[in-house]
Amino acid sequence: MSYSHKYNSHYGQRTLPANTHASPCRKRKDLTHGRRGDPNPKIQNETPMPHYDANMRNKNDGCKRARRALANPALTFLVTASIVVLGLNNEVFGYPGGYGPFRAGRKPASPPRFKCKLIAEQTSPGDNIDGALRRYRPAAVGKVQAQTKLVLRGTTNGWIISLIGAGGRNLLPTTVTNSMTRSEMEVFSCDLNKDGLPDFIVNVWSGGTGLAFFGTEVTFLLSSKEGYRAASFYLFSFGKEDLVQFKAGGPVYFILNDLMSSDGEKTLDGRDHNFWVYELYRIDRASFVPANADRPDFPKWVWFSNRDNHEETTQLTSQQKAKLMKKHRPAFR
């Protein structure tokens, strides 16, 4: 059996200060029902995923908060210039480097990942990705599966992902879609759950404006005895730093980042502020398990100020942070 699971890290809507810089929003499709914006992740065979309350609903659809994030001109220029000059042939840094969850020299190790080889490409006839086709061959990870092909087909609703094994066998029979409609992407193979089989990462950039320019949707394909299981997350600038191991031989964790405002909460200095918020998910076989409780320093709230900062903010109390998390993450109450 193969599953596909959509995690939406942006629940509900929020009120941002007046200098919010947003890109135009577009409706997005949910993997199961053809409609996106519903904050509830869904497994396409309607089986609730462990560690997640599938009955919790937030009816307030809307654009991702990433598309409503504050624009920081200096950060925008630096990252934009890096992507333009270096291109996506070079790896892009993960979470915002100046506001990461770890101090300099204290970043945990990242598991190895390998870029998949693009072996065939068909461009779309128009300006969008509709009709585009890309085929990738995985790098050798774990048990070599030379005949495995990762196929991406462009549509008006994003990239449909297929995983084809030996003899044309479909390793991911359930339809999986990365809903970004841009052509800039990175595709990796790795062994995240340490079962000796290759896992896959498909990271597609959003191409928005302001901070949304760095928004990406990353789709993981995790191997299991029953087949492959997919999970997608929206975050800022996915990179190798977003996958970590805190100890040698330990499990791999995914660091999900988000940008939250104080949203009416009274801060220490009485002003409205924005914060980079980091949460942990532990990769357990073919699942992403919410794992903030595994580390005393997570979730991590870093004040988005005008200087590099990696410290837990004191602008909000722990009660206020919990309230904001409850408001913007209703599925994890």
Q: Which two tokens stand for residue 66?
A: 């990433």
Q: What is the mean pLDDT of the chain?
A: 76
Q: DSSP letters along 204-269, please?
A: EE---SGGGGGEEEEEEEEEETTEEEEEEEEEES--GGGEEBSSTT---EEEEEEEEE-TTPPPTT
**For residue 52, is pLDDT > 80?**
no
* Span 143-179, pLDDT tens digits: 556 678 999 999 999 999 999 988 888 999 789 999 9
Between CA 272 and CA 108 the distance in angstroms is: 32
Q: Note the residue count of the chain.
A: 333
Between CA 207 and CA 204 the distance in angstroms is: 9
Q: Which two tokens stand for residue 330?
A: 């209703």
**For residue 46, is pLDDT > 80?**
no
Highest mean pLDDT: which range of 6-15, 85-94, 262-271? 262-271
Please give the C-alpha separations between residue 169 and each of 93, 142, 163, in angstroms, as whole numbers. 35, 20, 9
Report which of residues 326 and 219 the model is more confident about. 219
The pairing of strands 149-155 and 133-137 is antiparallel
Report which of residues 109 and 51 the model is more confident about. 109
Partner residues linked to 200 by β-bridges: 189, 221
* Span 225-247, pLDDT tens digits: 888 999 999 999 899 999 999 99
Burial of 263 (0-12, 13-18, 19+ CB in 10 A): middle
* Span 125-134, pLDDT tens digits: 888 999 999 9
Look at residue 94 and give its three-state secondary structure.
coil
Look at the block and give the residue holding tokens 């609730």: 48
Predicted local distance difference test score (pLDDT) of residue 69: 40
H helix intervals, 61-107: 73-86
* Span 191-200, pLDDT tens digits: 999 998 899 9
Distance of CA 88 to the CA centre of its chain: 17
Give the pTM: 0.75
Predicted local distance difference test score (pLDDT) of residue 139: 80
Burial of 103 (0-12, 13-18, 19+ CB in 10 A): exposed
Burial of 37 (0-12, 13-18, 19+ CB in 10 A): middle
For residue 323, the 8-state DSSP code is H
Look at the block and give the residue holding tokens 């602008």: 315
Predicted local distance difference test score (pLDDT) of residue 43: 31
- Percentage, residues of the chain above pLDDT 70: 69
Between CA 98 and CA 306 the distance in angstroms is: 10
Terminal-residue alpha carbon distance, the chain = 29
Between CA 162 and CA 172 the distance in angstroms is: 6
* Span 267-297, pLDDT tens digits: 999 999 999 999 999 999 999 999 999 999 9
Asked if 124 contacts 132 with a C-beta cutoff of 8 angstroms, the reply is yes
Q: What is the mean pLDDT of residues 187-208?
A: 93
**For residue 31, is pLDDT > 90?**
no
Between CA 193 and CA 214 the distance in angstroms is: 27
Containing 193, the helix (H) or strand (E) segment is: none
Predicted local distance difference test score (pLDDT) of residue 65: 43
Predicted local distance difference test score (pLDDT) of residue 44: 32
Asked if 263 contacts 324 with a C-beta cutoff of 8 angstroms, the reply is yes
